[in-house]
């Protein structure tokens, strides 16, 4: 697990303070929290630990900047986003290295994330100039109805660690395009990429106070006063379902508009008629992308009993080719999990499933050495109702169950409170449409192990969330409608 030396001093260059009203400064009281490299467990740097007072100062700045920012012409807002996109693409290597150092994924995956995040900025830059309204004659003909849309106002954007560039970009992009100001609270494990992204947006021309950043190791203490403050007009959260539920209850206090991108428990269904090689390719992507730490990761493999053994053998063979190692090592395919707590969770989940009767077909043995590595693992014979089928694994573990009828597969697939994405492999068009319709998920990967695209509405049904990010309705999450009733008399 040799780590090659970084080519850029990305850690040294990135801002480590709080960003409030266009100025980086230490947190009130001067406290900091550590950020570490999950591939080595080593300390990378200290970052300012924002306090509730800093959070309120950020809201002061966002509120003060809101009217001026809303008045900036849409074309200009769009151009800022486009410039930020171009800068991200230009600096792809630096950003990729930063993501890899604080989050762990391979440089190839980090580059893909930079591209993906940048594309959201470009997409929403193009949306900024397409915000429109309607004009119509009232039902009884006595009035005219003019519908306009305006920014919702200052937003709190809370993001997870698993995609430290793309998750903030997916929120900042539409907020900037709509003319909202914002406060971003990044995950404590990965605050550096968000700080660097803010640097790029500032360089692209974003005015002071539009984007404020409060890294903190005390999330609840810092966000609670913001959620109680009537000046905050919107919460957009990406993270786990339990934290989402808690934030929704807090948001109820001020009847705050919310967008929630929460956890997933994706079924990956392989029908008897599927192209098995394509299904295994898709499974590798859906399972190992982002080290399995993705809300859209395949969590439950449901494979037709007639092809289950062949699918499993092929998947085990492919998993066997995967090299574990630091994301900075070009020879490594799969990086570490985010921290020891997450590695312990995954290991316990696997051990518990095996103790309940599952069979280990690959992996399941913790490697020696530093870092939070967990090997690609394949389990079969998963007992019905096992915890591994109910919870997000968030690691490179494929748990395979079998089915014999379409109804049984769908019943099993939908037997979860989550509803983010489902994957379906079949060569029968009618079956594909029939089953896709009945899957209770916001997204379906049809003969494809990956969903998510700036031009598509990303989001979930059931307890996987509220609202959509991206697509041509993504900007609506940041816009209010206002209607003017115009009397003709």
Q: Which helix (H) or strand (E) covers residue 339, if one does?
A: none
Q: Which is nearer to ligand NAD, 272 or 392 (CB)?
A: 392
Interface with ligand NAD includes 264 (CB under 6 A)? yes
Task: Give the Cα separation of 417 and 39 in Å (integer).
Answer: 33
366's tokens = 């913790």
Pick from 18, 44, 175, 187 the residue near ligand NAD by CB under 6 A: 187
Mark whether 352 is an active-site residue: no
Candidates 125, 132, 119; CA nearest to 75 is 125
Among 53, 108, 147, 220, binds ligand NAD (CB under 6 A): 220
Query: Which of 104, 263, 292, 363 touches ligand NAD by CB under 6 A?
Result: 263
How is residue 469 annotated by DSSP? Answer: B
Binding of ligand NAD by 172 (CB under 6 A): no
Q: Shortest Cβ distance from residue 290 to ligand NAD (Å)?
A: 9
Binding region for ligand NAD (CB under 6 A) out of 60-68, 237-245, 315-323, 407-415:
237-245
238 binds ligand NAD (CB under 6 A): yes
239 part of the interface to ligand NAD, by CB under 6 A? yes
160 binds ligand NAD (CB under 6 A): yes
- Smallest separation (angstroms) from ligand NAD to the CB of 482: 29
User: How far is the C-alpha of 298 from the C-alpha of 423, rounded, in Å?
Assistant: 8
Binding residues among 375-404 for ligand NAD as defined by CB under 6 A: 392
Kindly tell me which of 197 and 307 has the beta carbon lying closer to ligand NAD. Answer: 197
Nearer to ligand NAD, 261 or 412 (CB): 261
Candidates 27, 44, 243, 444: give the one binding ligand NAD (CB under 6 A). 243
Is the CB of 188 or the CB of 278 nearer to ligand NAD?
188
End-to-end CA distance of the chain: 79
Q: Is 276 in the site for ligand NAD (CB under 6 A)?
A: no
What is the distance between the alpha carbons of residues 272 and 300, in angstroms, rounded to a whole number?
17
CB within 8 Å of 212: residues ≥ 6 apart: 18, 19, 20, 21, 58, 61, 62, 181, 182, 183, 184
DSSP type of residue 474:
G
Residues 6+ apart with CB under 8 A from 283: 268, 270, 298, 301, 311, 315, 398, 449
Measured between alpha carbons, how far is 267 from 283 in angstroms, rounded to an integer? Answer: 11
Q: Which residues bind ligand NAD (CB under 6 A)?
A: 158-162, 167, 185, 187-188, 219-220, 223, 238-240, 243, 246-247, 261-264, 295, 392, 420, 460, 465
């Amino acid at each position: 697990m040799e780590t090659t030396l970084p080519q850029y001093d990305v850690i040294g260059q990135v801002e480590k303070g709080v960003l409030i009203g266009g100025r980086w400064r230490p947190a009130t009281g001067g406290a900091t929290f550590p950020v570490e490299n999950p591939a080595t467990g080593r300390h990378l740097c200290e970052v300012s630990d924002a306090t509730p007072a800093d959070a309120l100062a950020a809201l002061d700045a966002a509120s003060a900047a809101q009217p001026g920012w809303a008045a900036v012409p849409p074309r200009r807002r769009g151009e800022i986003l486009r410039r930020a996109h171009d800068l991200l693409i230009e600096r792809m290597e630096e950003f990729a290295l930063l993501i890899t150092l604080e989050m762990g994924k391979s440089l190839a995956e980090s580059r893909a994330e930079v591209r993906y995040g940048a594309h959201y900025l470009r997409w929403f830059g193009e949306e900024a100039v397409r915000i429109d309204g309607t004009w119509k004659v009232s039902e009884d003909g006595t009035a005219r109805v003019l519908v306009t849309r305006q920014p919702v106002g200052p937003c709190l954007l809370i993001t997870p660690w698993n995609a430290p560039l793309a998750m903030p970009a997916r929120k900042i992009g539409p907020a900037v395009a709509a003319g909202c100001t914002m406060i971003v609270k990044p995950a404590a494990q990965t605050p550096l990429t968000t700080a660097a992204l803010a640097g790029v947006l500032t360089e692209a021309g974003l005015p002071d106070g539009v984007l404020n950043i409060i890294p903190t190791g005390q999330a609840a203490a810092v966000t609670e006063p913001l959620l109680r403050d009537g000046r905050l007009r919107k919460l957009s959260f990406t993270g786990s379902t339990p934290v989402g539920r808690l934030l929704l209850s807090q948001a109820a206090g001020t009847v705050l508009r919310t967008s929630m991108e929460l956890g997933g428990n994706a079924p990956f269904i392989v029908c008897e008629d599927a192209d098995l090689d394509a299904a295994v390719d898709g499974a590798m992507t859906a399972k190992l992308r982002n080290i399995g730490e993705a809300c859209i990761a395949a969590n439950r493999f449901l494979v037709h009993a007639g092809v289950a053994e062949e699918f499993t053998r092929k998947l085990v063979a492919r998993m066997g080719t995967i090299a574990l190692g630091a994301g900075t090592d070009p020879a490594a395919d799969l990086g570490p999990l985010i921290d020891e707590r997450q590695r312990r969770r995954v290991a316990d989940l696997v051990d518990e499933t095996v103790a309940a009767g599952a069979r280990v077909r690959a992996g399941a043995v913790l490697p020696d050495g530093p870092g939070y590595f967990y090997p690609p693992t394949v389990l079969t014979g998963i007992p019905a109702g096992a915890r591994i089928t109910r919870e997000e694994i968030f690691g490179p573990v494929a748990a395979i169950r079998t089915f014999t009828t379409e109804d049984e597969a769908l019943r099993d697939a939908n037997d979860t409170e989550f509803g983010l994405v489902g994957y379906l492999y079949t060569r029968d068009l009618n079956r594909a449409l029939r089953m896709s319709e009945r899957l209770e998920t916001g997204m379906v990967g049809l003969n494809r192990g990956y969903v998510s695209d700036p031009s598509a509405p990303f989001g979930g049904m059931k307890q996987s969330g509220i609202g959509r990010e991206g697509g041509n309705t993504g900007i609506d999450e940041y816009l209010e409608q206002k209607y003017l009733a115009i009397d003709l008399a």
